Chain A
């Protein structure tokens, strides 16, 4: 029987199936034997697309040599780069470096504004003392008056911008100085100051306080807390505390080192200090040098020099600007009325009645106290200042910085009836009077001081002290100095009558006028928005990625209220989502925020690198301390 099926033998060589005889796509996967295609079956030029493979890994996985998939852990690349920024910032802070370059990056801790485009900023206030920017809008011209026991603002709405405590000056009880914490925007202050006026006796008038105006300028003012003392007017005996038995003795001086006098106390100095000062409680020494705070009245108040609450002499080095107070008038016992010397800035004036100092036994009328100057206390009246140690002639003439030098008080009453005291207080005090033979002159006025670290001499304006025999009418220098009369009326009004350093007119019941300080400076309040943008840094090649480390104290919401972005073309800014990685050190203060972003800007050239911090809807104060920017 013949074959019924075609077999291989039945196919001629010419009978082999050619491609054209196979239907297109007729060989399906089902026709191919499973697991039979091998490498040799695949064309050397197959170029099989990757999407033909089963690639179950994620986009962050790679094909390993054994066919498995896994990640390549490169996370430390970013961490290392961020930590280079952290170390760069620490280095810059500790060594006071201005902005410096990295390889493909910069570090700026804002040691200066050299890396910032200040022209494009808004509401980004630079604090050079602490090297940071914050969202503040300036409030220029804040004017505040510091009185003996009150603080008054020209514009009451400015009061919340300033942190301060008012001085409390109290006769017979321990007073306290005032303090101001200046806003971080404040680096310059225009200060107008008047010392306190003195009390009097029945005949002679008290000297008026001195005055001065000057500009206090220093970056260190920003954010600093300074103390101040406003001199209180000297009192007559009937205002004294305690009240002594005789109406002729025991007049207490005003707060601020006003000297106790026999029948009139001097005014206290007025001054500003660059840190916290120590207040010495007022009182008197007795004959043996022991010091007594006011207590039970005696016929004489312990028969030694006395002064009211004042600043420790050791605070002299902290003085910024001081003005002296007036010395007390005294009883001339038939001689021409003895006027107190006026306080001043460069010098207080002598009390009337002559200055050529007699001896204790010589008698005569030359028994007035001398005015102080910026170098020395004023000469005392004839009789020694006191009998005990610590307040005698040697200490009175001892100059600072000797630890025994006497500052911030006037020459006080000592060993009555011979020394009647009442010298005006100041950086150096005016001399007290004496009564060697029944003729008592006026006391000398105190003098002031300016610290050259803060006050440039050309900025100072002042009038010569008034008072004493040369000008017996007790005036306030306030009425003469053009810088007072030139004040806008609202600021003039801050110096109330009775608080313009007036010397007291004759009459035992009259007290000298208090002193005062007017400060005018720029403050700032938190702004609700802020833009802080860097200069442009040129990359050496077009970068595709940027890493940022931000060093900041963020009070508002990160990445929403406070956001940072980076550009490579100075046009398109790519947002960087920051991560809070903790504090620079410890558990408070500056935090480290890190983040990165692709850079997509397409404007030409694409090598113009900048960072930008934008704040919006801000409610707190956000401080930006530095930025480390790197690109790759």
Chain B
């Protein structure tokens, strides 16, 4: 009598070969949680988009599969504090403008780091090492510093007494001596104690596209000023 039902014993070992399996016939429903590394071709080239990556682009995949940001805040803080320490050193030791690696520190011990011709209404006080607004507006702009390579970011630390607040000032930096990118300053508090010079910090991307893109400058523009705003120094770094 013929086979009416196929029993396992009716199948020889290796009876089912590739030819007996239809293309595409094995789908997820046919596979248990069984796929292992060795099941996957060495050249599988599985796209990362096949991974469940619900995290934002600001986060990275950790070794345990969780997501998290890499804390680089300290890098910025260290860079700003390099500027702060440089300013303190320049004040205490009476230093004129000096260079950092990819940066400058100028506490205005003299006005050699400032482009006085392009500045306007910025009165230099040699005894106090400050520039201040002589009228309701002021422009104070540095000389041009040459970067070794095209920078994409500028960090600035401003040491100042600003009775008009930062809102009446626009701080910017350029890499091409043409396009100045605005910097939003953060009030970091007083340099010492609870009065006097304050520390303001901020950074910006540099986007100027004129050639060469290694002409770095900072610029402070004040408008609608009612008080006497004193700029004590600037530390500018770029990368």
Query: Which of A's residues lie within 8 Å of B, judged by CB?
Result: 2, 6, 9-12, 14-18, 20-24, 26-34, 36-49, 51-55, 62-70, 72-77, 79-80, 82-84, 86-87, 90-91, 94-95, 549, 579-585, 592, 594
Q: Tell me the bound Cα distance from A326 to B6 in angstroms.
A: 140
Residues of B within 8 A of A52 (CB): 37, 40-42, 44-46
Q: Choose from B4, B46, B56, B93 the contact partner of A95 (Cβ within 8 Å).
A: B93
Residue among B26, B46, B72 making CB contact with A74, cutoff 8 Å: B72
Contact between A87 and B27 (Cβ–Cβ < 8 Å)?
Answer: no
- What are 16 A-to-B residue pairs whose CB atoms are below 8 Å? A15-B6, A21-B15, A26-B17, A27-B18, A47-B37, A52-B42, A64-B55, A65-B59, A76-B76, A76-B239, A79-B79, A87-B82, A87-B89, A94-B93, A582-B99, A582-B148
CB-CB under 8 A from A22, the residues of chain B are 14, 16-17
Q: Does B208 contact A (CB under 8 A)?
A: no
Min distance, Cβ B136 to any Cβ of chain A, angstroms: 35
Contacts of A80 in B (CB 8 A): 75, 78-79, 82
Contacts of A76 in B (CB 8 A): 75-76, 78-79, 239
Bound CA–CA A48/B36 (angstroms): 7
Do A49 and B31 have beta carbons less than 8 Å apart?
Answer: no
Chain A residue numbers with a CB within 8 Å of B59 are 64-65
Q: Which residues of B contact A12 (CB under 8 A)?
A: 5-8
Let me know if B11 is at the binding interface, CB within 8 A. yes
B57 contact from A37, A48, A68, A77, Cβ within 8 A: A68
- Residues of A with C-beta under 8 A to B34: 41, 43
- Given that A52-B46, A65-B58 are known contacts, is A91 also in contact with B99, CB under 8 Å in the complex? no
What residues on A are CB-neighbors of B42 within 8 Å?
51-52
Q: Which residues of B contact A2 (CB under 8 A)?
A: 2
B27 CB contacts on chain A under 8 angstroms: 32-33, 36-37
Could you tell me which residues of chain B, from 3 to 60, have a CB within 8 Å of some CB in chain A?
4-18, 20-29, 31-37, 40-42, 44-49, 51-60
Q: Does B96 contact A (CB under 8 A)?
A: yes
Is B99 in contact with A592, judged by CB distance below 8 angstroms?
A: yes
Say yes or no: B60 contacts A38, CB within 8 Å: no
In chain A, what residue has the closest Cβ to B155? A76
A77 CA / B9 CA spacing, docked (Å):
70
Interface residues of B in 48-95 (CB under 8 A from A): 48-49, 51-61, 67, 70, 72, 75-76, 78-79, 82, 85-86, 89, 93, 95
Number of A-B contacts (CB under 8 A): 236
A44→B33 contact, CB < 8 A: yes
Quick one: given A6-B6, A65-B61, are A87 and B99 in contact (CB under 8 Å)?
no
- Write the chain A residue with the least CB distance to B25: A31
Question: Is B222 close to A, CB under 8 A?
Answer: no
Kindly list chain A residues whose C-beta atoms are within 8 Å of the C-beta of B23.
30-31
Residue of B nearest to A37 (CB): B28
Residue of A nearest to B81 (CB): A80
Of the listed stretches B100-108, B171-179, B183-191, B223-231, name the one at the interface; the rest are far from the partner chain: B100-108
Closest 8 CB pairs of A and B: A65-B55, A65-B59, A36-B27, A33-B27, A94-B93, A585-B98, A15-B7, A33-B24
Contact A55 B48 (CB under 8 A): yes
Known: A9-B5, A83-B86, A94-B95. 5 other contacts (CB 8 A): A21-B15, A22-B17, A65-B58, A83-B82, A86-B99
Complex interface: chain A residues within 8 A of B56 (CB): 65-66
Residues in A whose Cβ lies below 8 Å from that of B60: 62-65, 72
A83 to B13, CA, bound (A): 73
Determine whether the beta carbon of A54 is less than 8 Å from that of B95: no
- With both chains docked as a complex, state the minimum distance between the C-beta of B26 and any C-beta of chain A, in angstroms: 5
Selected from B2, B35, B75, B85, the residue in CB contact (under 8 A) with A46 is B35
Chain B contacts for A43, CB-based, 8 A: 33-36
* A38-B28, A82-B101 given; A67·B49 CB < 8 A: yes
Do A65 and B54 touch (CB < 8 A)?
yes
Least Cβ–Cβ distance between A211 and chain B, in angstroms: 47
A72-B70, A80-B75 in contact; A87/B53 too (CB < 8 A)? no
Which of B12, B46, B97 contacts A21, CB < 8 Å? B12
User: 1/0 per residue B197-239: CB within 8 Å of A?
Assistant: 0000000000000000000000000000000000000000101
Complex: chain B residue closest to A93, CB-CB: B93
Count how many chain B residues have C-beta atoms less than 8 Å from C-beta atoms of the other chain.
78
Assembled-state Cα–Cα distance A82/B101 (Å): 7
B5 touches A10 (CB 8 A): yes
A47: nearest chain-B partner, CB-CB: B37
Contact A84 B82, CB 8 Å, known A42-B35, A46-B35, A46-B36: yes
Q: In whole angstroms, what is the CA distance A46 to B37 when docked? A: 5
Whether A17 and B16, one on each chain, are in contact in the complex, defined by CB atoms closer than 8 angstroms, is yes
Asked if A31 and B101 make an inter-chain contact with CB atoms under 8 angstroms apart, the answer reads no
Interchain nearest-CB distance for A128 vs B (Å): 21
Evaluate contact between A585 and B96: CB separation under 8 angstroms: yes
Q: Is the CB of B18 within 8 A of A31?
A: yes
Q: Inside 8 A of A24's CB, which chain B residues have their CB?
A: 14
Report the separation of the CA atoms of residues A77 and B78 in the bound assembly, to the nearest whole angstrom: 8
By beta carbon, the residue of chain B nearest A582 is B99
Q: Which of A17, A41, A84 contacts B31, CB < 8 Å?
A: A41
Residue in A14, A28, A51, A582 whose beta carbon sits within 8 Å of that of B7 in the complex: A14
Name the residue on A nearest B58 (C-beta): A65
Q: Is the CB of B57 within 8 A of A64?
A: yes
State in angstroms the CA–CA spacing of A37 and B16 once bound together: 22
Which among B9, B40, B57, B98 is the interface contact of A70 at CB below 8 angstroms? B57
Does the CB pair B17–A15 fall under 8 Å?
A: no
In the complex the two chains form, is A581's CB within 8 Å of B7's CB?
Answer: no
Whether B82 lies near A67 (C-beta < 8 A) is no
Q: Nearest residue in A to B24 (C-beta to C-beta)?
A: A33
A54: B residues at CB distance < 8 A = 45-48
A28 and B18: CB pair below 8 A? yes
Asked whether B8 lies within 8 Å of A29 as measured between CB atoms, the reply is no
Query: Assuming A51-B42, A90-B95, is B17 touching A23 (CB within 8 A)?
Result: yes
B9 engages A14 (CB within 8 Å): yes
Q: Are the C-beta atoms of B85 and A87 separated by less than 8 Å?
A: yes
Q: How far is the CA of A583 from the CA of B100 in the complex (A)?
A: 9
Report yes or no: B36 in contact with A21, Cβ–Cβ below 8 A: no
Q: In whole Å, how far is A5's beta carbon from the nearest beta carbon of chain B?
A: 11
| Bound CA–CA A52/B48 (angstroms) | 10
In the complex, how many angstroms separate the beta carbon of A29 from the nearest chain B beta carbon? 7
- Please give, as numbers and ranges, the residues of chain A lying within 8 Å of B12 by CB-CB distance: 21
Tell me if B26 and A72 are in contact (CB < 8 A): no
* Among candidates B16, B37, B76, B93, residue contacting A49 with C-beta atoms closer than 8 Å: B37
CB-contact partner of B97 in A64, A94, A585, under 8 A: A585
In contact, A16 and B8 (Cβ under 8 angstroms): yes
In the complex, residue of chain B having the shortest beta-carbon distance to the beta carbon of A91: B89
Closest chain-A Cβ to B235's Cβ sits at a distance in Å of: 10
**Which B residues lie within 8 Å of A20 (CB)?**
13-14
State the Cβ distance, A25 to closest chain B Cβ, in Å: 8
With A21-B8, A29-B41, A53-B46 known as contacts, the answer to whether A66 contacts B101 (CB < 8 A) is no
CA–CA, A531 to B45, complex, Å? 53
Inter-chain contacts of B54 with A (CB < 8 A): 65
B18 and A594 form a contact (CB under 8 A): no
Q: Which residues of A contact B4 (CB under 8 A)?
A: 10
Using Cβ atoms and an 8 Å threshold, which residues of chain B touch A29? 41
Given known A31-B21, A54-B46, contact A14–B16 (CB-CB < 8 A):
no
Residues of B near A27 (CB, < 8 A) are: 18, 21, 26
